[in-house]
Amino acid sequence: MAAAGHSRHRPRQRVRLAATLGRVWVLLLATLALVVVANDPHEHWIRPLAAAVAAVDAALQDIHPDTTTPAAVEQLWAIVHAQPHSLAQYAALEAVQTANASLLDGLLRAHAERLLPVIYTPGVALACQYYGYLPRRTPVLVVPVGSDAAAVRMQLSGVPAADLRVVVLTDGERVLGLGDLGVWAAPIAVGKARLHALAGGAPLDAALPIVLDAGTDNVALRQHDLYAGLPAPRTRPVQDAGATADLYTATVRQLALALAERTPVPLLHVEDVGRGTGFRLLDVARAERWPLPVFNDDIQGTGAVVLAALLAAVPSTGRASLAELTVLIVGGGQAGIGIARVRRPFHCVLCEGSERQVLTVPPPLVPRELPLRPSRQR
Amino acid sequence: MRYGLTAAEARAHLWLVDEHGLGTLGDPHRPPPRPEQAPFWRALAPAWARQADGTTAPLAALVEHIRPSVLIGVSGQYGLFTPPVLRAVAAHHERPVIFALSNPDDHAECTALTAYASTDGRAIFASGGPSLPVPVLGGATGRAASAVPFHYDAAAARYPAQVNNAFIFPAVSRAVASGRVHQITDRMLLAGAEALAALVTAEDLAMGRVLPPIQALAQAIGAVAAALIDAASEDGPADPAPPKFEL
């Protein structure tokens, strides 16, 4: 009896087990499919872009091209806000920009707090990574490395802004933490230019984004179907090569000279270029006395803002001054040295008499003491 | 000596670490510094900066020896400031300053939550991109018992500052647009930094942020631009010598 009961019971258990396993399998497969879809960059990031642009286009059909009424701004904000992620929001903003630039100006100012993370860090990183996939893009001046004076002037002659305040120039070699993105770094220049205008109290077209196309060492990007830049390895500044051999510096120099002819003379803001390039351009501009102010945001901007934060933090640390703090900077690139540089004059240049004497004595710590740079020896 | 330090002393308070380890001259295990790095490289390579096999000592070990009161991350390396590193900084300082500035978020050296949780909430933390507010038990300014992600009390939360260049570069172009700035000098940047720091209120500090909130960006830019222009006029007019470059 017992044996018979056993034999009747066993197959039923097996069936139950199989059914459970089956259910688990279905669940597992469903989860896997979901994960695959969620992680598929095409499904997740790229597909919503077309819909975002279409929604903006539909709304813009009812809005006169020159209108920037608050109602129109709010109508577009609702569309941008409804997008599934920051990249789609960026695509929607680009569609607004290309159709009605003054409306974008109103939109950015009205919702700056919510839109800054889209047009600037961190959202701009996505816009760079998927730049080729954006259905609409803000027009950006692309200057190929090796352009001569005439070519550069020709390109700049098409720039309408009567009073251009700043040019944001990038070659896309070190984009945020993402590395070499070539001309796909355009959103970096566009975003910084927009911030110059928004935070500096100027119209959007007072800041001009320019991409210097010096090729890219990102091989996968170079071979990408949607990559429109020079499909060549990167050209970089060459130290001690003479004016003609250093194509890169020569091109930037031509650009700087052409810009300096405008009235008023704009600022040349250099952004996200390679490590060596950033320092090299600052040094050359200073040594050759380029007739316009040159500013490297990664070196000088980072240095200044970190110093500000440190100065503000000193009272909370319980110390009397910044002098009592020991600073460890992790990262020897432009930002790291930029912080060290801005911090250095903080201690040296501003100090009076006694400090100057200290500088003439070989200090014990570093054998190769660098004197103050020429610009500060006044 | 306005800030009470000689040049050599200022350097003695500054250490740099990069992908090859501690920045020192005459270290056979690392390449020579690039020209811009050389002024900040230390002369002597301390024994503790290298492990027996010549590879760089882990960051936590370097921190243990240097005992920095300020740790600044501009490396682009996600998670570089691990809890042991942060604990090592906090072990020697009541209010350690931790700036994890690489961005976007997935490149940041540590998150606000890690920084507070690893330092008993004592860290003065700031990030490069926007940080979410971090709820902290034990008050916004005092020593906190722990940081827990599921308890939210707006009054006790920290709102880490976004140490972002956006507080500086729009002011530079605005200063240039004034027509009175013809070059960007370190003296100007310094004046800009001091002006920006002066905008930070006691209330800001109590909320855990060492810069004004990003919502106050436009006002901050106005103040920084004014400081830049003032400093430029102290520097005197631009060099009258003609430019020298070959065309």
Per-domain boundaries in chain A: 41-119, 139-292, 302-376
Question: What does the block give as tokens for A152?
Answer: 């550069």
A120, A130, A131, A248: which one is catalytic? A120
Burial of A4 (0-12, 13-18, 19+ CB in 10 A): exposed
Number of A/B CB contacts below 8 angstroms equals: 375
Listed by number, the residues of chain B in 80-109 with a beta carbon closer than 8 Å to a beta carbon of chain A are: 80-81, 93-95, 97, 99, 101-107, 109
Nearest CA in chain B to A124: B104
Does the annotation count A120 as an active-site position? yes
**What are the domain boundaries of chain B?**
164-237
Nearest-neighbour CA in chain B from A270: distance (Å):
11
CB–CB of A201 and B221 under 8 A?
yes
Residue A101 has pLDDT above 70, yes or no: yes
Q: Residue B51: which region, alpha, beta or left (left: phi > 0; alpha: psi -120 to 50)? A: beta
Please report the DSSP string for A7-55 in residue order: HHHHHHHHHHHHHHHHHHHHHHHHHHHHHHHHH-HIIIIIHHHHHHHHH
Listed by number, the residues of chain B in 21-50 with a beta carbon closer than 8 Å to a beta carbon of chain A are: 23, 25, 34-43
Question: What does the block give as tokens for A42?
Answer: 């095409």
Helix (H/G/I), strand (E/B), else coil: B38: helix
In this structure, are residues A372 and A349 in contact, taking their beta carbons and an 8 Å threshold?
A: yes
Which ranges of B141-239 does DSSP label H, i.e. alpha helix? 169-177, 186-198, 202-206, 217-235
Residue A177 has pLDDT above 90, yes or no: no
Asked if A340 is an interface residue toward chain B (Cβ–Cβ < 8 A), one would say yes
Q: Which residues pair with B134 in a beta bridge?
A: B158
Q: Which residues pair with B100 in a beta bridge?
A: B73, B127
Phi and psi, residue A329, nearest 5°: -100, 125
Q: Which residues of B touch A307 (CB under 8 A)?
A: 189-190, 193, 197
Q: What is the mean pLDDT of chain B?
A: 85
pLDDT band at A365 (very low <50, low <70, confident <90, very high): very low
Q: Render pLDDT for A136-176 as a digit per residue (tens, 0 to 9).
A: 999 999 999 999 999 999 999 888 767 899 999 999 999 87
Kind of pairing, strands A294-296 and A267-270? parallel
Nearest to A330 among B7, B80, B165 (CB): B80
Helix (H/G/I), strand (E/B), else coil: A235: coil
Nearest CA in chain A to B232: A293
Q: Which residues of B touch A243 (CB under 8 A)?
A: 245-246
ipTM rounded to 2 decimals? 0.90
Q: Render pLDDT for A189-238 as a digit per residue (tens, 0 to 9).
A: 999 999 999 999 999 999 999 999 999 999 999 999 999 999 999 999 98
Q: Which CATH number fits the domain A139-292, given the four candidates 3.40.50.150, 1.10.3720.10, 3.40.50.10380, 3.90.550.10?
A: 3.40.50.10380
CB–CB of B129 and A307 under 8 A?
no
Q: Render pLDDT for B164-212 as a digit per residue (tens, 0 to 9).
A: 999 999 999 999 999 999 999 988 999 999 999 999 999 999 999 999 9
Does the annotation count A192 as an active-site position? yes
**Cβ neighbours, 10 Å, residue A136:** 18
Q: Which residues of B touch A300 (CB under 8 A)?
A: 168, 184, 189
Nearest CA in chain B to A335: B74
pLDDT at position B236, please? Answer: 62
Asked if B206 is an interface residue toward chain A (Cβ–Cβ < 8 A), one would say no
> Among the listed ranges A9-23, A187-201, B62-76, B138-152, which one has the minimum average pLDDT value?
B138-152
Nearest to A329 among B19, B72, B163 (CB): B72
Q: Which residues of B touch A259 (CB under 8 A)?
A: none
Question: What does the block give as tokens for A166?
Answer: 């700043």
Residue A241 has pLDDT above 80, yes or no: no
CB–CB of A326 and B177 under 8 A?
no
Q: Which residues pair with B126 in a beta bridge?
A: B99, B161
Nearest-neighbour CA in chain B from A59: distance (Å):
29
Residue A347 has pLDDT above 50, yes or no: no
In this structure, are residues A172 and A178 in contact, taking their beta carbons and an 8 Å threshold?
A: no
CB–CB of A368 and B185 under 8 A?
no
